Amino acid sequence: MNAWPDADSTIVDRYVRQLRVRSAKTRRWYANEIRAFQRFLERTEPGGSLTEAAVVAWVRERSTLVLPIVVADRARKIHRFLEYLVRHHYVATNPLASLCERYGARSLTAIIRAVSAPDPERALSALRKPPPWSSSLGAVMRDHVALMRSVGYRYRAQEQRFLAFDRFLQSHPEIAGQPLAALIQAWTVATPTRAHAGQCELVGRLLSRVMHRLDPRSETLEVDRGLRRQLYRGHRRPHIYSHGELCRVLEAARTLGAPRSALLPSTAYTMLVLAYCAALRIGEIVRLTLGDIDEKAGILEVRNTKFFKSRQVPLHSSAMQALSEYVAARRLAGGPTSASAPLFWHEARQGGYSRAAAADLLIKVLRSAGLKPARGRTGPRIHDLRHAFVVHRMLDWYEHGVDPEPRLPHLATYLGHKSINSTLIYITVTRELLQHAAERFRRRGAASLRAEGVVS
């Protein structure tokens, strides 16, 4: 029996007290919503049983009284409370979670929308998706993903591309059995955008090679060089921050308005210092822990990054000082001090930053510094700081008379690249870099010509 366990509202009161909300008024609102849900169960179900039928009836009644967006919001709050009950073993199951699992819904909103429809059974049935890898080529793609992971690749992005193609084939059974080139063409036409066409071409070429290994008689698809050129022209060129722009960004981080979080400006500032001075990716920044810092040696341990690599990153004394000041401020703010605790800690969430949360914070700083418009995706990106680091390092070598070519393997290691081929992508040709390279070539060429007696 999945009966309501809280006749005297003791559990409800305990639940709302532990919520991280801004005011006592919000806690009272939560408690009132949960008690209203409880009264509905007591009115409609014997003993107030928590069943899927009772939850469906509650959603349908709510949908006749308030807007759909309000129904979805209240259902999410009830869902979180029911998850709390399950987690603390007050009830056996959460009917809302059971509905999501049974119908394969990715979000609770989809379930609420289907339940509120005129024909809920039909709407819920429409949510059911066929199992992955059930298309005509699904087994081939699934086995290839398993093979690549067995030899050490994460293969997440490629798996998602294969799954997208698998879903397309499932929704178009009428084209099953056609040659791979025809299937890829049909998928390309389904969404006529340049980016989608590039993804389709990538999947087609990879899958054709996989099928060719299984059956040498099958045809491999060639690179569409015209599409490659279009995609290359459409790529956003990295923005190489000037020293003045870097100062503006760091100052904007220090003065970031955060009335509810005194630690937030220091967090943003230190993240930006590591993104530029240590050339860390956002994902690497948010995965750092307190144990990754060696203040005495001035070294940062960056673990389990791209291609399963880890590396030790030496930091300049000024960058290590900024990091030490942040750790001290974090300690004063009450952050956890264990070695495994996330380095960048959020006061409100009482936990570490996700990649998306860190990106949102740093983009907010760029907008505050006036480098990005208030809305949209145009303007400099956070990842461009990594490009700026490489270009500025090359310029510094040129200005100090250092030959950069022998240093490129060291730079690749610092950046966490497998080889210098990946590092070369980051060497954006700026006017200053081109001038230094041309001057170096001129000096070398003049010396060679003098040695051969061509010029005096």
Beta bridge partners of 352: 345
Residue type, 30: Y
Structure tokens at 395: 């310029």
The three-state (H, E, C) secondary structure of 237-253, written as one string: CCCCCCHHHHHHHHHHH
Q: How far apart are the first and last CA of the chain?
A: 100
In three-state secondary structure terms, 403 is coil
Structure tokens at 243: 């020293």
CA distance readout (Å), 277 to 319, 387, 441: 7, 11, 29
Structure tokens at 20: 């991280």
d(CA 273, CA 253): 10
Residue type, 386: R
Asked whether the beta carbons of 1 and 49 are under 8 A apart, the reply is yes
The pairing of beta strand 345-346 with beta strand 311-314 = unpaired
Active site residue 281: yes
Active site residue 306: yes
Residue in 74, 248, 281, 330 annotated catalytic: 281
d(CA 267, CA 357): 12
* Residues contacting 234, CB < 8 A, separation 6+: 194, 195
CA distance readout (Å), 153 to 149, 182, 319: 5, 29, 33
Residue in 87, 306, 331, 349 annotated catalytic: 306
Cα-based torsion angle of the residue sequence 249, 252, 253, 255 in order, rounded to the nearest 10 degrees: 160
Kindly provide the b/e burial profile for residues 379-396, where b requires at least 16 CB atoms within 10 angstroms of the residue's own CB.
ebbbebbbbbbbbbbbbe
In three-state secondary structure terms, 300 is strand
Beta bridge partners of 299: 294, 314
The closest alpha carbon to 75, from 115, 39, 22, 48, belongs to 115
Summary count for the chain: helices (H), strands (E): 21, 5
d(CA 447, CA 442): 9
Active site residues: 281, 306
